[in-house]
Each structure stands twice: as structure tokens, then as C-alpha cells.
Amino acid sequence: MKHYVLVHGGCHGAWCWYKVKPMLEHSGHRVTVFDLTAHGVNMSRVEDIQTLEDFAKPLLEVLESFGSDDKVVLVAHSLGGIPAALAADMFPSKISVAVFVTSFMPDTANPPSYVFEKFLGSITEEERMDFELGSYGTDDHPLKTAFLGPNYLKNMYLLSPIEDYELAKMLMRVTPAITSNLTGTKSLTAQGYGSISRVYIVCGEDKGIRVDFQRWMIENSPVKEVMEIKDADHMPMFSKPHELCDRLLKIADKYP
């Protein structure tokens, strides 16, 4: 039996794993899902998030609760890759493999915010649509929020069932934009995050994080293995749940 810990992306919540969780459990595995700070049904507000550690706190508490001999398959989607990388840096001995599913994936040379800020700089006004950036914090410590409007969201859910897109529209929450003011300027460590096995799952029809940007992140921070789900949009847990589970089961077998 393997133990999967599933990390959702920005503006979403644990609810987005509702198809994948029972599939993995049906295969005999343990699955833990949770809401990141100020997401899903977590009662915090985005203004409570002053650092990346604040954002990742529920994940850090989950990993901290496990015994010293427990190892998990850490699966991160989209923006969840950055708090997951921080957790891997803090608890490398508790992670058998980290899986980045069309996810922002930091390196060990730049601040964790580097990949997200590069992404923001890479998308055109036309591509941005109603991907909205806001601000909070103080003059001394300015921070940004991000919110996925219905048009940008529709692009992310292009091949997913319409019911899942409608559900997402009802449950969206504002997320912190992962800027260097949130993460600080230190990189994650080679001894922590850099020491764990990582696998990247490319989603071939992703209009949220384009395939060329996914592949740039892999080049920027090489992984043990790259897999692909060719006909998946940005939300493979909705558009290709069986294929995603198949990849996750194979990864867990290969990286004990």
C-alpha cells in the first residue's frame, strides 16, 4: 500500500481530487487531501498569507503528523507545485517521490517564485483574459493576489466535463500570487528539495500552462522521468482521471 498526498492548485481546493481519490483508494492505497490556506473550506483569508510557509501550512502540518518512517507520494497540481516543493525541502525523508502534474516546479538556483514570475511575464494580454491580479499587504511588504475569471478558467477546463467547469466557477477563491515578496529571495536547498526523486507529467492540450512552458520548467530543473497525457487539458483530474491515476500508480511502483 502506498500513501498519496494530493496538493491542489491555486483558487481550487481539495474538492478537485474527488474523482482521483476514490480511484487510488480502490487500487488499495491511502490518500490524503486537504485545503491549502485560504482555499476550499479553509477558514483563513488570503490576507493571512504573508509567506510561502503560511500558504503551505496545512500541507506542512500533514507531513509533520506522519511518523519518521512514513514515506508518501507527493502529487502537486498547477500552483500547488510551489508549496509542495517547500514541503519537500523541509521534509525530504518523508517523500518517496514528488510528482508535478502540469505544475509550477521550482529549481535550487532561484527563489521558489522564479517560475511563477517567469510565467506571468510570458503570457500575452490576449492569453491573460480575465486572469486577475490584485494587491494586499503593506507598503513595506507588498503582496499580490490572483483570481481565475470564468473565461481563463474555461480555457483551463477546455476538455473537461461541463459539470466540473460549473462546479469550479462556484468554488473559486482568491489565491496568493507567488512573488518573491511572498517567498523571499533564498532558493530551496540541494540537500532537501534537490535530493528527492521528481517526476513531471506533461498535459498535452493544456491552455493554462502551455506545453512549451511545462517543458521549459523541466529543462530548467531536470527530473528523473517525464510522462505525458496527450489529450489532457490543465485539469487532468477531470479531463483524463483514469489516465492520471494510471501514471500515478506506475510512478509509486517505480519509486518506492
Query: Is 78 known to be catalytic?
Result: yes
Which candidate in 29, 78, 164, 221 is catalytic?
78
Strands 175-176 and 142-148: antiparallel
Query: Is 234 known to be catalytic?
Result: yes
Residue type at 140 in one-letter notation: D
What is the phi-psi region of residue 129: left when phi exceeds 0, alpha when psi lies from -120 to 50, beta otherwise? left
Contact 13, 58 (CB under 8 A): no
DSSP result, 21-86:
HHHHHHTT-EEEE-PPTTSTT----GGG--SHHHHHHHHHHHHHHS-TT--EEEEEEGGGHHHHHH
Which candidate in 35, 89, 107, 206 is catalytic?
206
Contact 81, 103 (CB under 8 A): yes
Q: How far apart are CA 170 and CA 173, in angstroms?
A: 9
Residue 14: in which H helix or E strand, if any? none
Which candidate in 113, 164, 234, 239 is catalytic?
234
Query: Is 130 known to be catalytic?
Result: no
Catalytic residues: 78, 206, 234
